[in-house]
Amino acid sequence: GQQVMQIPQYQHVQEGEDFTTYCNSSTTLSNIQWYKQRPGGHPVFLIQLVKSGEVKKQKRLTFQFGEAKKNSSLHITATQTTDVGTYFCAGQRLLWGGSNYKLTFGKGTLLTVNP
């Protein structure tokens, strides 16, 4: 079945340093979504990438979708303590013969920031 691998599993940075998490799918995706889960909270949608090679920015966050639509990355510039949490990618693909999509989550990257 489809697998979505995400690395690293953990990342600890000093405040002000950059952070990147990478996501790789075993199959070509229709789109990829990114979520953030604060400690003790629930996942919250950040963004969706659909087009091959797409790059989107949200303030200090930059999201990329690979040309082959099998990998993606999230880069945070100059981390802040408010960035702490687990970042999940979720790859979506259209199921064969239907109009249904299957969303598969990566295991997430836990980011901690030392002030």
Partner 1 sequence: DGGITQSPKYLFRKEGQNVTLSCEQNLNHDAMYWYRQDPGQGLRLIYYSQIVNDFQKGDIAEGYSVSREKKESFPLTVTSAQKNPTAFYLCASTNRTGEYEQYFGPGTRLTVT
Comparing C-alpha atoms, which of 10, 5, 6, 8 is closest to residue 111?
10
Q: Does 108 bind partner 1 (CB under 8 A)?
A: yes
Which residues make beta-bridge pairs with 103?
92
| Choice from 18, 53, 68, 101 touching partner 1 (CB under 8 A) | 101
Which residues make beta-bridge pairs with 113?
13
CB of 97 to partner 1, least distance (A): 15
- Given the complex with partner 1, which of 79 and 86 has the nearer CB atom? 86
| Choice from 3, 9, 27, 28 touching partner 1 (CB under 8 A) | 9
